[in-house]
Structure 1
Amino acid sequence: MKYKDLIEKMTLEEKASLMSGKDFWTTQNIDRLGISSMFLADGPHGIRKQAVASDKVGLNEGIPATCFPTAATVANSWNVELGEKIGEYLGEEAVAQKVNVLLGPGVNMKRNPLCGRNFEYFSEDPYLAGKMAAGYIRGVQSHGISACVKHFAVNNQEERRMAIDTIVDERTLREIYLTAFEIAVKEGKTKTVMTSYNKLNGTYTNENMHLMQDILRGEWDYGGVVVTDWGGSNDRVAGLLAGNELEMPTTAGETDQEIIQAIHNGKIKEEVLDESVDRLLELIFTTEEAYKKLHVEFDVERHHRVAQKAAEESIVLLKNEGNILPLKFGKKVAVIGDFAKDARYQGAGSSIVNPTILDHTLNCFEESGIISIGFESGFERYGKKNIEKINNACTLAEKADVVLLYIGLDEVTEAEGLDRQSMRIPENQIELLDALYKVNPNIVAILSCGSAVEMPWLDKVKGLLHGYLGGQAGARSILRVLSGDVNPSGKLAETYPLQYVDTPSLLHFSGKEVSVEYREGIFIGYRYYDTANIGVQFPFGFGLSYTTFEYSDIEVSKYGVTFKLTNAGRVAGMEIPQLYIGCKSNEIFRPNKELKGFTKIFINAGETKTVMIPFDEKTFRYFNVKTNKWEIEAAEYDIIIGASSADIRLTATMFVEGTGAPIPYDKHKLPSYYSGRVNDVGLEEFESLIGYKVPVPTWDRTQPLGYNDTIAQCQYAKGGFARLAYHAIVFAHRFFRKIGKRDTANLIMMSFYHMPFRGIARMTGGVVNMPMLDGILMIANGHFFKGLIHVLKERRKMLRNHNSVKPIGIGSRKKI
């Protein structure tokens, strides 16, 4: 251990105290030994360090910081170097705000388009997500502080995220849901990993020995710190045994005592605690070095320009009928849509950033050179129908050469803690589009949202520009693409299906009660659509340009693939060639092709460049569940270069020597997986894949409610008071939605309805402890007076104990 001498000077109580937070955002400190607190702040696309004290919980406004485009946006740039640059600027701002650990990036897979937090994740593809995340991490950590890759792992729904049990087979876990984390750990060298709330195959992720010890610590040789998501600790002792150093937020010393007791009774060896303390001390001491350097405030304007560059390179041109874009000089445009006035530029929840500057579309027209003849909002932002707004918009549209229609999803539709109800944009926006089309068919739609949407209205627009959530400079960036000052180069990092019913996880998203089964296996996103031959609206990797690119002269060696790329148009631009690999053997089921490399190239008009995309250790591998190792199948492989997963430009084949592993499957038992048509896999076939009987996915309503049951389950509680509380929560949610306070309604669902009972203790900073929670559960289970007396008794005991404890330094306590 690096800090053995220092650890030997600590009392057991001091060591245990370091394993959980001092308050909601800082870690414990021990003054007598020179151990300082760390500050952890949200920050996947901008620092959210709350302006209020760190002992205050909630989504309070942060100190102003640059709001960069979200991860879902920057992933469309396919530019790892750009991600690293964003990370560098995030790291600089974190140091300026004295943040030790920046809680991001998030690399969970986009298993289903309705996941409410998809705006915060990179892609449906683990290779792309991992490479982008590694860039972010290197950039952030170049300033000496720590990034924190999250949420480890298989956290792919928001509803019931703190209690859901994710059932997934080992191969799918490794190939799809862990590969991005593997790249983040091995290539990004992240100093911190955040565990997810959910269970994985029956065990909470931060207690899961297979995930935490076999894979993270063992196979990946990770030596950094693991922190829980806020309130994500279930059994503190089991978490520590699995290698989860830091529990956040504070539990006011309650779980410290659990650790101490476990050491006294031999459940944990003190050496295990010492190793965790050693890793945490390394994080504390290395990150605080960043603040010892002479430092000045960051350059707000320069950071804003970087945010603009990131947004420009991430915008995706999806349709350009008749080359309506870029807008011709002198064309008069009508600007319509509420999102033009108040841009939708970031997500909602823990990642909300208070921007230093915020560009507004209507203020940027003069410098863009685009001639605007006026603005009409056209629709109510949150879906309410308004015929007058539509009529006013149509009157304006009739006078214009081109209509710029700003549409998308509002802030409370895509939010942490909740999943979307459908893939459609609000009906009042579609009605506006229908009306505009009748008076002026020259419509360019500008779409603002962080996740895939259905587009049955696509034939009514001539141009479609997707800005995703472009951060504080997104509005100006979109105008620069519309005007032609910037040639769009973004490509989709996720597939856009024609309709939601086409998605492979349709029947098993989201898990509503006990568990969610990943019956589609490895076939998510383009892996499914390409293999099952399902048509899509826009394929993975798709994006148009104002120029054209030609591919030629492919050559393959054992080191990689080389080809020539020519800009055959009249405008300089950037292209993203993508390397896909397809195995020609059918002994082991696989997708038709999988992304295994990419690059982004700038090419002047008429210029030709030679491009090389190398192979790496992930190019031909698959995970073999018999050998429990990564293996290579001896076979012919298609080497595919595409402009998207569907736009294949060059192909070649090569034979690859294998590792000689046995075939892991009986194909007769897995017909859906061998065909790729996994949208309706039966229970028996899924159990053949995972190798055991799946748990019953529904609640046992005959049992008393326990720590890990949710407040929603009070609907069938034995206690009348609990049922009354449930109906009060449901009423409050409906009431706030009806009066337009949808953000409050969302908060009720996230913070109460889907919260497990243990969250009451884990998220209240010591206001409620576990013995008091026992009394609350007594009330819920029909013993009102007994439970109430227990709560009051334990409350008095807690206050008495608190008053009898005197802090020594700060962060450790001793009885007096």
Structure 2
Amino acid sequence: MLKKTAIISVFTCISAYTLAQNISVPVYLDESKPVAQKVQDALSRMTLEEKVAMLHAQSKFSSPGVPRLGIPEFWTTDGPHGVRPEVLWDEWNQAGWTNDSIIAYPALTALSATWNKQMSWNYGKALGEEARYRKKDILLGPGVNIYRTPLNGRNFEYMGEDPFLTSKMVVPYIKGVQSNGVATSVKHYALNNQEMFRNTSNVIVDDRALYEIYLPAFKAAVTEGDSWTIMGAYDMYKNQYSSQNQYLLNDILKKEWNYKGVVVSDWGAVNNTEQAIKNGLDLEFGSWTNGLSAGTKNAYDNYYLAQPYLNLIKEGKKGTQELDDKVTRLLNLAYKTTMNPKKPFGNIASEEHRKIAKEIGEEGIVLLKNQGNILPVDINKAKKIAVIGENAIKIMTVGGGSSSLKVKYETLPLDGIKSRFGKEADVQFARGYVGDIGGEYNGVKSGQDLKDPRSEAELLNEAVELAKKSDYVIFVGGLNKSDFQDSEGNDRKSYGLPYNQDQLIAALAKANKNFAVVLISGNAVAMPWIKEVPTIVQAWYLGSEAGNSIASILAGDTNPSGKLPFTFPVKLEDNSAHQLGEYPGNKQELAAGKGKDQKNPINISYNEGIFVGYRWHDTKKIKPLFSFGHGLSYTTFEFGKANADKTVIGQDDKITFTVNVKNTGKRAGAEVVQLYISDLKSSLPRPAKELKGFEKVFLNPGEQKTVQITIDRSALSYFDPEQHQWVAEPGDFEALIGNSSDAIKTKVKFSLK
């Protein structure tokens, strides 16, 4: 980091010295001048070589500035849940620093499950502070790709299946991060909805599904959140790779949405100089080049936007119009980040950050089922508590791909449960199953050795015997972040739980009726034992405070209020992408071996169109295991009759719906009021209902509050591909208000003129 520190010092010293000596300050360093003027002045002073150098990496995670002018480098970092540990300059291996351990925050599925926009801002603010403290300029996240299939290995990094929920949750996250002078890089734009063939696929999707399902969160991120950068994806769309794609980057992002920020390539996503120049890419990272075989000292000089671009300009084959636009965008970014004298210093692993991580975890945990009120644990009856399952003792902040973290600490579920209940109860542990014993992922070492030589039968019998002797049994299982589970690079191989957990859960359910299953995962899973298990908790990957967040919910210290951000289908075939679409690709092309390299990409058709997640289940009346928006509480809520402030609206009007919500139970808690819109008669097929508003309301026992949700014509519109515009068709609509997509409590009809 000496190089970066030196550049910043030069920039600071130049400004301080010139001001002190009353010397004329260059316009690009003059704080009194408008940014646009400073950018143009800096641009005018740069050589052709300096401009091209700014467009590509100089190391694994940095790109050069202009040392001669005191313009600093940009330093990027993964990821969306915590700041990645330092790696070596030219290698993926860890740098071995001792001061790069951080707080891990809950995965974005957990954040989205809070349905709480304030929590999203808190998350972004805290994460941005840690990135700023670590001297990072661009945070490579958040991810907003839509949950299309429960097999996608990277779903845990995203915010679920619904474009509206994702849009509303991503904007405050961005604003929170960027309040620290650290740019977000919203990813992966676009259509990166599976890991299998992510580098070698061509997605075929109609314009309506593109605009209604897969683009809204990205649009909100740049038009409402003002994300200073956006990251291109690996996959192809319209036979062009997404990080060099005319339609996605130029036509939609920069023209339709008027985006003025920087387009960053995903690492290794660029493969063509001509397309990278013309089709909207601004900053190239991670391209697979070999400087030695090309006869250069620096491999980064061989990047597609490096020497090849410079040669084309010098040979007169390319002008500098695109170059100046790219550099202008990068300079604008610099004045918000590296050259922003007003950005705070940040902080790392503070008590406030620990508290935020714990609160987000608590609010994101979803109580799926609680038959017989097994939870919260009654400490008066629970003198002996059995905790069973590998995930109770497995570190989860390490693994998953590029989001693998080096943390100050991670409170494991068993430790959290012992800390909370151990003074009043005897808490004992049994392994139950052996899953992933590895302790190193992506160069980060967990320090754990989970080898266990015992047979499957021995482990199961030990767990069952402990369950029989205990007052309460808490099973902590699910998935993990090893390859072919919740992890970047590959998808899951099946919908079911791995490691014989289904057999173990069924046996434990027979052994003890006071039984709760706690699932740790970023994906839906099959539950063949659901009728035998009274209580199920969806706990996600919850970061450094995982064990404390889980224990708080189990004990009832915090009343669960999380809601599912995606549908749990009963079986994989109930998911629309698996019933109608192509996954992992075209069957004939799969058989022919396509998708093995970029020269022979495999086509993936999204035949399900707009009918993704609950839009499919509710429209086709396919009963899910658990519906989108579902989540129980330890108290009860009552919805009053919904009202609207008008029954007929014009195209430019807004309409406000109000509903009273009352806590009718004995505990304080929170409910999420969800507003869905149904178009009763449409020219084009539409889902039975679509989420268009939500508010989380906190209520004490007996307390009642009035919740208001206002919508405009955008909530009534669909995208007409023939006209290539959004259309709000006159006619009758219905507002459906409830606490999940399949639990509508009250309805209001209205008309659009």
User: What TM-score, normalized to structure 2?
Assistant: 0.84
Can you give the 5+ residue segments of structure 2 that lack an aligned partner in the other structure?
1-35, 288-298, 438-453, 595-601, 646-653
- Could you report, residue by residue, the CA deviation over 1:754-798 in whole angstroms, capped at 9, with x for unpaired residues? xxxxxxxxxxxxxxxxxxxxxxxxxxxxxxxxxxxxxxxxxxxxx
1:15 counterpart = 2:85: no
Which residue is equivalent to 2:435?
381
Letter of the 2:554 partner, please give it: L
**Map 1:617-632 → 2, pairs under 5 A:** 618-632=714-728
Alignment RMSD (CA, Å): 1.9
Which of the residues 392, 396, 400 maps onto 2:462? Answer: 392
**Distance (whole Å) between structure 1 residues aligned to residue 619 and residue 576 of structure 2:** 11
Residue 614 of structure 1: CA displacement? 1.4
- Percent of aligned pairs with the same amino acid: 39
Residue 90 to residue 140, structure 1, CA distance change in 2 (3 Å) = same
Query: What is the one-letter code of the residue matched to 2:661?
Result: L
Q: Is residue 650 of structure 1 aligned with residue 746 of structure 2? A: yes
Counterpart for residue 163 of structure 1: 200
Q: Deviations over 1:200-247 (max 9, x none)?
A: 121111222221112111121110000000011121331221221100
Deviating more after overlay: 257-266 vs 13-22 = 257-266
1:57 maps onto 2:68 in alignment: no
Q: Distance in 2 between matches of 1:304 and 1:57?
A: 28
The question of whether the paired residues in 2 share the 8 Å contact of 1:69 and 1:346 is answered with no
Q: CA deviation at 1:53?
A: 2.7
Which residue type is aligned with residue 76 of structure 2?
L
Residues 142/247 of structure 1: CA separation in 2 closer, same or farther (3 Å cut): same
Which one of the candidate residues 40, 55, 78 is aligned to 1:4? 40
Q: Structure 1 residue aligned with 2:664, among 549, 552, 568? A: 568
| 1:168–1:201 contact (8 Å) kept in structure 2 | no
1:536-547 correspondence to structure 2 within 5 Å: 536-547=624-635
CA contact under 8 A between 1:95 and 1:290: conserved in structure 2?
A: no
Match in the other structure for 2:301: 253
How far did 1:349 drift?
0.2
The reply on whether 1:92 has 2:129 as its aligned counterpart is: yes
Task: Determine which of 165, 173, 181 is the counterpart of 1:136.
Answer: 173
- SS of the aligned residue for 1:560 comes to strand
CA distance in 1 between counterparts of 2:208 and 2:317 reads 33
Conserved 8 A contact 2:83-2:130: yes
Confirm whether residue 639 of structure 1 aligns to residue 716 of structure 2. Answer: no
Q: Deviations over 1:510-534 (max 9, x none)?
A: 1253210010000010000000111
- Letter of the aligned partner of 1:352 in structure 2? S
Question: 2:544 aligns to what?
Answer: 472
The aligned residue for residue 153 of structure 2 is 116
Where in structure 1 are there 5+ consecutive unaligned residues? 658-816
1:225 aligns to what? 262
Give distance in 2, aligned partners of 1:461 and 1:197.
Answer: 41
Cα shift at 1:86: 0.5
Say whether 1:312 aligns with 2:366: no
Post-superposition offset of 1:321 = 0.8
SS at the partner of 2:617? helix
What residue number does 2:599 align with? none
Q: Which residue matches 1:79?
A: 116
Matches within 5 A, 1:173-322: 173-249=210-286, 251-254=299-302, 255=304, 256-264=306-314, 267-289=317-339, 295=345, 297-322=347-372
The range that moved more, 553-562 or 96-105, is 553-562
| Residues 59, 567 of structure 1: alpha-carbon distance in 2 compared, 3 angstrom cutoff | farther
In 1, Cα distance between equivalents of 2:307 and 2:659:
62
Aligned to 1:30: 66
Cα pair 1:345 1:448 within 8 Å, conserved: no
More moved, 383-392 vs 445-454:
383-392
Cα deviations by residue, 1:351-389 (Å, 9 ceiling, x for unpaired): 111112211233334542362341111111239951111
1:106 equivalent in alignment to 2:178: no
Kept in 1, the 8 Å contact 2:397–2:406? The answer is no
Q: Distance between the aligned counterparts of 1:53 and 1:465, measured in 2?
A: 40
CA positional deviation for 1:346: 6.6
- Structure 1 letter corresponding to 2:628: F
Change (3 A) 1:112 1:365: closer
Q: Residue 630 of structure 2 aligns to which amino acid in structure 1?
A: F
Pair 1:402 & 2:472 matched? yes
Displacement of 1:291: 6.8
Return closer, same or farther for 1:653/1:366 CA change in 2, 3 Å cut-off.
same
Q: Which residue number corresponds to residue 672 of structure 1?
A: none
Alignment partners' CA distance in 2, 1:372 and 1:526 = 43
Taking the aligned partners of 2:334 and 2:455, their CA distance within structure 1 comes to 53
Query: Number of residues paired by the alignment?
Result: 656
Cα deviation, residue 262, structure 1: 3.0
Query: What CA distance in whole angstroms lies between the structure 2 residues aligned with 1:283 and 1:638?
Result: 44
In the alignment, the residues of structure 1 paired with residue 517 and residue 398 of structure 2 have an alpha-carbon distance, to the nearest angstrom, of 19
**SS class of match (2:702):** coil
Shift of 1:65: 1.1
2:33 corresponds to which residue? none
Residue 399 of structure 1, CA deviation: 1.0
1:35-82 deviation digits (Å, cap 9, x = unpaired): 2111000020111142x3332235778821110000011111011110
8 A contact 1:145–1:290 mirrored in 2: no
- Residues 604, 279 of structure 1: CA spacing in aligned structure 2 closer, same or farther, 3 A cutoff? same
Q: Which residue of 2 aligns with 1:705?
A: none
- Return the alpha-carbon distance in structure 1 between the equivalents of residues 505 and 344 of structure 2: 55
Deviation at 1:302, TM superposition (A): 2.3
Paired residue for 1:532?
620
Q: What's 2:448 paired with?
A: none
Q: Residue 263 of structure 2 aligns to a residue in which SS?
A: strand
Matching of residue 439 in structure 1 with residue 515 in structure 2:
no
Equivalent position amino acid for 2:573 in 1: V
* 1:356 counterpart letter in structure 2: K
Who is 2:451 aligned against?
Answer: none
2:697 maps to 1:614: no
The partner residue of 1:491 within 554, 559, 563 is 563
Aligned residue for 2:639, secondary structure, equals: strand
> Matches of 1:294 and 1:180 in 2, distance apart?
28
Following superposition, the deviation at residue 442 of structure 1 comes to: 2.4
Correspondence for 2:533: 461
Shift of 1:650: 0.9
Give yes or no for the alignment of 1:41 onto 2:77: yes
Deviation at residue 347 of structure 1 after TM alignment: 5.4
Cα 1:353–1:636, aligned 2, differ >3 Å: closer, same or farther? same
Deviations 1:314-333 (A, max 9, x none): 00001101111111122132
Preserved CA contact (<8 Å) 1:93 1:298 = yes
* Cα distance, 1:104–1:441 mapped onto 2, change above 3 Å: same
Determine if contact 1:237/1:258 at 8 Å carries over to the other structure.
no
Give the match for residue 804 of structure 1: none
Q: Where does 1:395-794 land on structure 2 (aligned, <5 Å)?
A: 395-412=465-482, 413-506=485-578, 508-511=582-585, 512=590, 513=594, 514-557=602-645, 558-616=654-712, 618-657=714-753
The answer to whether the 8 Å contact 1:207/1:242 transfers is: yes
3-state SS of 2:410 partner: coil
User: In the alignment, is the contact (CA less than 8 A) between 1:376 and 1:392 conserved in 2?
Assistant: yes
Q: Which has a greater percent of helix?
A: 1
Question: In structure 2, how many angstroms separate the alpha carbons of the residues matched to 1:385 and 1:138?
Answer: 51
Q: Greater shift after overlay, 405-414 or 92-101?
A: 405-414
Partner SS state of residue 89, structure 1: helix
TM-score normalised to the size of structure 1? 0.78
SS at 2:547 equivalent: helix
**Preserved CA contact (<8 Å) 1:529 1:536:** yes
Q: Which residue of 1 aligns with 2:389?
A: 337
Matched to 1:416, the amino acid is E
